[in-house]
Each structure stands twice: as C-alpha cells, then as structure tokens.
Structure 1
C-alpha cells in the first residue's frame, strides 16, 4: 500500500512518518498510521531536549521496545542509539513494571541523613503495600505523545533524516515487526491473563505480607534508635527530649555538662547588661537599707522620749 499523494511531507513543523499496521485476526485489513515527528522543544528547557524527538499520534499499543526497534533496526540506525522513551504521563518507567522511585543518597548533614533514611523506609513500605499489577501490558489512547531521547544530537538528526529518506522511497515500516514473541499478546489472551492476575497465588500474597512486615519492623527499630539518641542529646536550645525509658548516670552528667556549656555560651554577650543590672539593684538595696535604718533610729528616739516622761 503506497502513501496517498495528497498527504504532505510536513505539517506545522512536524515530519509525517507513515507506518504500516498489519492485519489482525479480529480485523483482517492492513492500515496506514501516521506518526508526527519533530525536534523536541519543551516550554521549560532541559539538558536532553537538544538530542530528543517529540512524537505525537502514537499507536495505542506503543511500548518502549516498539519505538526502539522502529528508530534503530527499521530505520537503519546503529543499535543502542536510543537512550530511552518517555510516554505522556509517565517518566522513564517500564511499561509493565513500576520500579521504586530513585533517591539521591548523598546527604551532607546528619538531619538530611535521618530524613533520607525515613524516606527510604517509607518507600519500602509503599512498595511492599503496592498491589500486584493486574495487566501484563499497558495500552494508550490514540493520539498520545512521547519523547525519544538519543545518546547524542547527531543520532537524533540522523534519525530525522532517515524518516525523510524512508518517505521519499515511499516505504512504510511495519509497526511491531519482529516483536510478536517479545511482548505479551493482545486480544483475548490479554483479558485471560488479566483475569488470572486478579487472583494472585497465595505464595505471592504471603511474600508481599512478609515484605511489608520486614519493612515495618525496620522502620520501628530505626525510630526507637532515633528516640534513644534524642533522650541523650540536647537540642539547639539546650533542652533534652523527654521520652519513655530511663537514662544512665553517665548520660545524665554528659547532658548536664553540655547544657551548662551552651548556657555559658549564651551568657557571653549579656555580661555587661547583667553587671549594670546588678549595680542598679545594689543601689536600690542600699537605699532601702538606709531608709529602714532611719525609720528604726526615729522609733528608738521616740521610745526614749516616752521613757523619760514616764520616769519623771
């Protein structure tokens, strides 16, 4: 089947890439699908945009393997030039298995390390509680987009030139050629597999439960150790977290010494203020003592005067 002559080579900056869709038992007629390809130009620039191609109107059964074979074997590019494929709504993930999210394990402080460990435990719990997939292969609605990243810019430009050359030869690569045994089948087999995955084996469920309990116990143990350290170390304000369980005498002495050192450091900038305050208090105290002395002396004089009158 040749490409219709009225189909342009480009439209709105996209190169039109015709693909031949083979017939299926449920639809025994071949068809032509048009893929629209252009250099990737995201609104927010990224380091890999210059070596990426943007695709739209991807077939509903597209997978990373489909596009890698299409842009390497079927277009004549050297193997391994495609780095990865990112479909719309998904970021560098496999089509059938959800891997655990990556995490930068290079913290620079103890607080970051603690937070990093907490996040790791949370991820382990999340992955342990994730239900098994009930579909062995993901399908997409027609018209969705994808981004293909190549190892370098020259590979991306070579792929774009190969698409134009294939179009000039009026040749249409066959979509999914050579992948029949490398991907789970569609049709009734897919729905039978879906029904099977809805009822996982008891051993798989037990494995999932054991994994969750192991991750939960590890998190609880880490929290107990963290609380034990907090009971022995004063914070920035010099306070010690009060929790369950007692402390040894050595730990109390160390905590008291650390608290005394921190309080002494805080008082360094306030020495002049406290000296002025003490002078003012001393003056007030001296004035109060003098006032009381005068009052007592006047009382004594009055008592002597009364005593002299009585004797007369």
Structure 2
C-alpha cells in the first residue's frame, strides 16, 4: 500500500536531483514496457495489457504560461483484434471454432448490420497499405483487399471486448476498396454482429495525465491541479505518482477517478554510500562496508561527519 511506502524528502539534502525530477527523468527515458506498467499496474488499472497498442510519453508539457503538466502518456486503446484465420463456413465443423461456424451459429452472431463506414477516402496506395497494415491485416490480406474485383468484399472474423475486457466477442467484417483512375483508393467496411456494434475499426487514441505529488503537498492542492489539467486537456484519465498516502487519501483520489502508482517503482537508482545515508529506516543504514553500490533511497545525511 502507498500509505506504508517509504517517504522521500521534497529536496535532497546535499543538492542532488530531487525525487520529483528523478521520476520525470525515469519517465522521459522509459521504455515501452515501463510505460505500459504504469497503465496496467496502477490502482485502479487504466487498461489491461493486451488492450495497449502503440504508446509514448511527453514530459513537462506546458499547459499555460505559468503551469505545466508533469507528463502525458499517449497510447492506442485496442478495441478489436483480427482472428488468426479467414472465415470458412462449414456445417460439418464444430461451431466451437470461430473460423468454422455452422450456418445457424453464424447467423446468430451476425444478425445485426452496421452502416457503411469509410476507413480512408481517395488516398494514395502507400497510405492505403499503411492504413490496412496498421489496422491489423497481414501483408497478404492487404494485397488481397487492394486487388479485390469490383463490388467484391473481403470477409474476416474479428473479436471485440467482453465485459471483463477480454477479446472474446466475435463479429464479421466486410471490407472493400474503390480504385480510381488517378491511382487513389477509398476503403470502406461494414460489420455484422450479434448485439453491440463494434466501436471502431481497430484502436482509439487515448491520453493519460501524469502528476507527481510532492511529499508535503496537501490532498486538496493535488486534486485541484489534476482537475485543472484534466479539464484543459479534455481527458478524465489521470495517474498520481506518489508515496506515503494515508488510506483515506488514497480512497479520496481513487473516488475522483485518479489512479495511484508508487514512486519507488520509478525512481532511478543512484550511487550510494550507506555509511552517510539519511534513510534511517533502511537495514543497511550507517554500515560502512555495505555491499550496496546503487540505491533508489539514498540521500546524504546532513549530520554525517564523513
């Protein structure tokens, strides 16, 4: 729990980089798996791991002339995934296999039809290829789609999310291309589904605010800053990186739609000397021959004579 985590001073006592800056540096150089961990392992989680597509972060984002946001994570929230194999309707096959459905089972899964949607309009071939590949189609499927005969449709099974956030709800997607004399393409599709219309073609862009809480900042001040940033950035998702929250404060932030993540997971280790370290709760505190070389908790004790 965050309430039992180690407290860090607002500023290092010997002028080292503050924990706030250490976290920002860690986020600035964070690899993809670290950013995904922020979204997945915060409390409560923002998203499940398998729902995250491309992801990136921006640190120290200007909001106004005098205000900045500690960070923003941008990611693609995957809403549906392409099934591994093309559809083949075979009444002799078990309808437990998505790719070999009986006609009655297929009908029950596809009795609703969406309106015709446009994925790309009068776009050059290179852009059409990139758009289809980004949507999840293989190179062979992209080639087949772009070379469809006039009025033909390419048919594939997809899965969308169930209530638990797993890709288990199947639907059938028809996609076609219109080719023009100038070499451009228009790509259109429609879906056949059981109950709920798929929300998008593949993924939707999302952004999450990152706020790093100083140790001495009050609950109300932190909440005010986050709400101000959420309003100006037009997003409800936010992660507060902090330590030493009380259980009551943690409940308060989470009740306001703010997820929590421990700063100890992000602070970069620095060169340490246990003999002069001010972290008195550490079992290696004051040990001159400690084997510890790098540590996230180290700061120099201002009363040390060494």
Greater share of helix: 1
Same fold (TM over 0.5): no
Point out which structure has higher relative CO (alpha carbons under 8 A, 6+ apart): 2
TM norm structure 2: 0.18
Greater share of strand: 2
TM norm structure 1: 0.18
